[in-house]
């Protein structure tokens, strides 16, 4: 079991003003924050739905559960925490008949997890290889680098991080087994890169750490399962908002929302619609929203964030 030592006193959420503006939370509404993390978004949303509103926070990280206990005492809304993967939690809430007005996702690793050096998410600290968002999960980064075959490691580096040197990095990782710390993994990555790539902009291990983290936490499969669950359970006129931090996440959100905003798919030569398809969604942020220059200056980790929001249409409403 990992000892959790880092607990921030205040969490500054990414794209906070934009989330509030585009989801427009109102008194008495029900909000589901699927990725509670440090609780910054939840706090702002709860303040706006007020004492007649309901906040349901979801996170698989026990550190988030501790953070929730701190925040829940101060927010005006009725608040509930579910420790689980968000796809499983949403399925359970749907089975209860919940019809939320807002569902929010903030994908990826949280600052709280990155800054807890002992969790092994960051290449900036020498720490045990871990990277589990749920410290009780069976698969850790050590499992991936020490037990998975070279071909599978190369595959996740290509598919989850677009790593050009995936094969040579995977080969060096396998040659240097066992790897126990983040520093050892960084050195294995450097050894797998050509000299020109070792000294480029940023840490050369960034993509490898991203790919292994995604694999350890099965992040993309969870997104694919959760988006339909969240959309189906939304109340009419409900808003779904998702913050992504890399193209693999954002493409999934963009495609999912675009599919629901699309109406008739009949060929243009048809004089009248025969498919009968009507749009389910109105896209609020067609091109997505990126952080302002000021936010990036204050919080460099926000630089790659991208927010998309859609409203669920009532049956028969014109999109």
In angstroms, the CA 242 to CA 227 distance is 9
Residue ranges of domains in the chain: 122-217
Return the pLDDT at 275: 76
Tokens of 286: 């067609």
pLDDT at 5 over 60: no
pLDDT at 137 over 80: yes
Q: Which percentage of the chain shows pLDDT scores above 90?
A: 82
What pLDDT, in 10s, does the model give residues 175-210?
999 999 999 999 999 999 998 788 767 789 999 999
Q: Which residue has 């996702």 as its token pair?
A: 105
Return the pLDDT at 317: 43
Higher local confidence (pLDDT), 275 or 172: 172
The distance of Cα 9 from the centroid of its chain, to the nearest Å, equals 22
What pLDDT, in 10s, does the model give residues 17-53?
999 999 999 999 999 999 999 999 999 999 999 999 9
> What average pLDDT does range 262-286 have in this prediction?
83
Tokens of 287: 């091109």
Per-residue DSSP letters for 158-196? HHHH--TTHHHHHHHHHHT----BHHHHHHHHHHTS-HH
Higher local confidence (pLDDT), 301 or 41: 41
CATH 1.10.150.170 correct for 122-217: yes
pLDDT at 2 over 80: no
DSSP state of 318: -
Query: Length of the chain in residues, anyone?
Result: 319
pLDDT at 112 over 80: yes
Mean pLDDT of the chain: 92
Return the pLDDT at 26: 98
Return the pLDDT at 196: 78
Cα separations in angstroms, 157 against 43, 138, 212, 271:
36, 21, 8, 49
pLDDT at 160 over 50: yes
pLDDT at 6 over 50: no
């Amino acid at each position: 079991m990992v000892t959790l030592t880092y607990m921030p006193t205040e969490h500054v959420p990414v794209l906070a003003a934009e989330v509030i503006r585009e989801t427009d939370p109102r008194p008495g509404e029900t909000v589901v924050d699927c990725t509670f993390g440090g609780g910054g978004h939840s706090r702002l949303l709860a303040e706006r739905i007020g004492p007649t509103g309901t906040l349901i926070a979801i996170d698989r990280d026990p550190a988030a559960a501790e953070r929730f206990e701190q925040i829940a005492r101060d927010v005006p809304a009725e608040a509930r925490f579910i420790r689980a993967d968000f796809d499983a939690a949403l399925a359970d809430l749907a089975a209860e008949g919940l019809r939320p007005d807002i569902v929010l996702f903030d994908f990826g690793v949280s600052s709280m997890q990155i800054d807890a050096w002992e969790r092994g998410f960051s290449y900036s600290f020498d720490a045990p290889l871990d990277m589990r968002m749920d410290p009780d999960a069976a698969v850790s980064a050590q499992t991936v680098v020490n037990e998975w075959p070279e071909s599978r490691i190369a595959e996740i580096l290509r598919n989850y991080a677009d790593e050009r040197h995936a094969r040579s990095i995977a080969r060096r990782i396998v040659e240097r087994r066992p790897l126990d710390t983040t520093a050892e993994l960084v050195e294995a990555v450097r050894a797998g890169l050509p000299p020109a790539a070792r000294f480029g902009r940023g840490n050369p291990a960034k993509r490898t750490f991203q790919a292994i983290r995604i694999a350890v936490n099965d992040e993309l499969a969870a997104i694919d399962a959760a988006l339909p669950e969240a959309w189906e359970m939304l109340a009419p006129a409900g808003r779904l908002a998702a913050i992504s931090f890399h193209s693999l996440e954002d493409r999934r959100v963009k495609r999912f929302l675009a599919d629901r905003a699309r109406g008739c798919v009949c060929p243009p030569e048809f004089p009248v619609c025969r498919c009968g398809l009507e749009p389910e969604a109105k896209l609020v942020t067609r091109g997505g929203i990126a952080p302002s220059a000021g936010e990036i200056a204050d919080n460099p980790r926000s630089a790659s964030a991208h927010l998309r929001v859609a409203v669920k249409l009532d049956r028969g409403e014109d999109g």
